[in-house]
Amino acid sequence: MSNERQHQVAVIGAGPTGLMAAEILSAAGMAVTVYDRMPSPGRKLLMAGRGGLNLTHSEPFDKFAGRYGAASDRLRPILEAFPPAALVAWAEGLGEHTFIGSSGRIFPKAMKASPLLRAWLRRLGGQGVELRTRHDWLGWDDEGALAFHGPDGPVTAEPDATVLALGGASWGKLGSDGRWSGSLAARGVGIAPFQPSNCGFVADWSSLFRARFGGTPLKGIALRFEGQSVRGDAVVTHYGIEGGAVYALSPALRDAIARDGKAVLEIDLRPDMTRSRLTDRLSRPAKGQSLSTFLRKAAHLPPVAVNLLREAGDLPSGGALAALIKSVPVTLTATQPIDRAISTAGGVSLDAVDDDLMIRALPGVFAAGEMLDWEAPTGGYLLQASFATGVAAARGVRAWLGER
């Protein structure tokens, strides 16, 4: 038996990040135990699969690596070491063939996560990875051992190295609630406050608009905020507005609300028609049509869009109406509750980990995945960075155990 085989590694969190670290470490001959508090692994991955499982994105690497905002510089070498092509090859190695959607996003052909997760768990089992579910990690005990609440009571472990892959702080019912942050903060680890990312926003709709259009999509629109412009779809909800185009602006909207108490989002209901063309069409005689019928015919606006214009106040006519259609102001006053966000910003500060993702204050303990303080839009960037940081932490564990 080689020296390396004797190394015991605990991976806490059986999401995509932790399972990826476990795969690499077990393939390198280490004895890996994966702990998770839930009765089964990968619950958020399975939930992501309900939307088709957008694994990653096909855009050029430089553009891809720039999607992580302030964290882009730190994540770039980690993504370079495990880029989108490597993730696609890995998925295909598990029998999940992928395709590039019209927006450049990459999905498994199965459009769900369950076959991938099943094949992956089989591979991990074959590599000797031990999975201990229903083990809630509580932190460290007085002797420095990892402490869990297991199905039959307290459990402790003293591995040679630990990978924490505990996820963010949304969708707590799937296992990730961010409670781990207390144990780390108590040990001097820098933690940035959790914030919702890729989330919906509260708007003060009239009760009529809310009742009639809650749940109605706004398709093919453009959203503008603070110099950023995003084309795509959104959904009017009972509480406000959500959907891909809104998520893309969510960091800027969230920060403005925190700063100013509100954010005024501009919606272009006809981004493919110039204002002068719209003005021209709206100057034609209405010939006894109701305003809704006229706007539907002249500007191709569906009822939800016409009523969104009305939410902004009394409707002007001619050029002023065209201007409003190109820029309907919607005042947002709050984010959706964090538990409903697709992902979260905040968590273990990137300054608190070294380039191998080892927590500086806790030698031998690594942190990876959504629990690190980065955020990115939807589009496959979340899973790609989770997998890639799982790879990086595993590489860090190998280097650290090799050095000792």
* Binding track over 40-79 against ligand FAD, x by CB under 6 A: ---xxx-xx--x-xx-------------------------
Of 256 and 377, nearer to ligand FAD (C-beta) is 377
- Considering the rule CB under 6 A, would residue 15 count as an interface residue with ligand FAD? yes
- Considering the rule CB under 6 A, would residue 345 count as an interface residue with ligand FAD? no
Select the residue interacting with ligand FAD from 23, 36, 373, 375 (CB under 6 A). Answer: 36
- Considering the rule CB under 6 A, would residue 382 count as an interface residue with ligand FAD? yes
Span from 89-97, 164-172, 201-209, 259-267 in contact with ligand FAD (CB under 6 A): 164-172
Select the residue interacting with ligand FAD from 84, 108, 175, 240 (CB under 6 A). Answer: 175
Closest separation in Å from C-beta 180 to ligand FAD: 5
Span from 1-9, 77-85, 259-267, 380-388 in contact with ligand FAD (CB under 6 A): 380-388
Site residues (CB under 6 A) for ligand FAD, limited to 88-147? 136-137
Closest separation in Å from C-beta 258 to ligand FAD: 22
CB contact at 8 A, 360 and 334: no
- Considering the rule CB under 6 A, would residue 14 count as an interface residue with ligand FAD? yes
Closest separation in Å from C-beta 81 to ligand FAD: 17
Closest separation in Å from C-beta 259 to ligand FAD: 26
Closest separation in Å from C-beta 321 to ligand FAD: 38
Select the residue interacting with ligand FAD from 191, 343, 375, 396 (CB under 6 A). Answer: 343
Q: Report residue 185: phi and psi, to 5°.
A: -60, -40
Closest separation in Å from C-beta 387 to ligand FAD: 8
Span from 39-47, 70-78, 272-280, 330-338 in contact with ligand FAD (CB under 6 A): 39-47
Of 7 and 44, nearer to ligand FAD (C-beta) is 44
- Considering the rule CB under 6 A, would residue 159 count as an interface residue with ligand FAD? no
- Considering the rule CB under 6 A, would residue 398 count as an interface residue with ligand FAD? no
Q: HEC states along the chain?
A: CCCHHHCEEEEECCCHHHHHHHHHHHHCCCEEEEECCCCCCCHHHHHHHHCCCCCEECCCHHHHHHHHHHHHHHHHHHHHHCCHHHHHHHHHHCCCCEEECCCCEEEECCCCCHHHHHHHHHHHHHCCCEEECCCEEEEECCCCCEEEEECCEEEEECCCEEEECCCCCCCHHHCCCCCHHHHHHHCCCCEEEEEEECCCEEECCCHHHHHHHCCEEEEEEEEEECCEEEEEEEEECCCEEECHHHHHCHHHHHHHHHHHCCEEEEEECCCCCCHHHHHHHHCCCCCCCCHHHHHHHHHCCCHHHHHHHHHCCCCCCHHHHHHHHHCEEEEEEEECCHHHCCEEEEEECHHHECCCCEECCCCCEEECHHHECCCCCCCCHHHHHHHHHHHHHHHHHHHHHHHC
Where on the chain is the footprint of ligand FAD (CB under 6 A)?
12-18, 35-38, 43-45, 47-48, 51, 53-54, 136-137, 165-167, 171, 175-176, 179-180, 342-343, 369-370, 380, 382-383, 386
